[in-house]
Copies of this chain bind each other. A is one copy, B any other.
Amino acid sequence: MKVLVVEDDQFHGAYLQDALVEALPEMTEIIQSSDGEAGEDEARRGAIEAIVMDLQMNRRNGIEAARAIWSERPQTRILFWSNYADEAYLRGIAQIVPEDSAYGYILKTASRERLKLALRAVLIEGQIMVDREIQRLQKSQTSPRTRIEDSEFAVLIDLALGLQDKLIAERRSMSLRTVQNRLLSLYEKLGVVSELDEDLALNKRVRALNRALFTRTINIEILDAAQRDLDKWLASRR
């Protein structure tokens, strides 16, 4: 059994290799890639079935790589391991995960024992395993007061890219007024209206992006990928 590790931090990569050797005696080979693109190539070439994937990488992030890999081989088992429990990652993964595939999401701060457990559960047993921290994050989104719906999230992404209302409306196929309604509820849910100083006037658009970044509702990797999607859409529009 071959395992592919996609990880751009050498220290974390070494630690992971170590844990892999301990946890998976049935493993015959470890292949290492240092960014998403190289990881994709390796997965294609080696017909890999088990992957450990970092999410935050320079050239191409883990979610995009996973999407490409899964679209070719949906039965591939992928354990994501990441520094942060970012809501943006969760949404990204939820959107691309194929039916009946095995995946997991574990934080880098998890203990070695928990990491080894996750490695066995996902890569060998084909289970789905999500870190407690991340589960907690999902729970906190059950309240309709604070939960950001997918349709709102899409508008948030476009806002963050700097699109104007009219263009968002066109891209997401809604009326101008509907876009503005979504923005309204986003401002509400992100706490744009300045908790303390009620009377303090802010630029709501920028503030929304600011809050979304701090609450880790979105992050730079996700925006980077979204920008590429936008470019594609723009090119196809004309």
Q: Which residues of A contact B (CB under 8 A)?
A: 11-12, 15, 159-164, 166-167, 192, 197, 200-207, 209-210, 213-214, 220, 223-224, 234
Contact = CB atoms under 8 A, between A and B. Distances in A.
Contact of A210 (B15, B161, B201): B161
Contact of A163 (B12, B167, B202, B224): B202
A213 B220 contact: yes
Nearest to A165: B203
Nearest to A207: B162
Identify which of A11, A164, A203 gathers the most chain B CB atoms within 10 Å of its CB.
Answer: A203
B11 A202 contact: no
B206 A214 contact: no
A158 B192 CA distance: 15
Contacts of A206: 159-162, 205-206, 209
Given A162-B210, A164-B203, A206-B209, 15 more contacts: A11-B11, A161-B207, A162-B202, A163-B202, A163-B203, A164-B201, A167-B200, A197-B234, A205-B205, A209-B210, A210-B223, A213-B213, A213-B220, A213-B223, A214-B223
A224 B214 contact: yes
Given A12-B11, A197-B234, A160 B203 contact: no
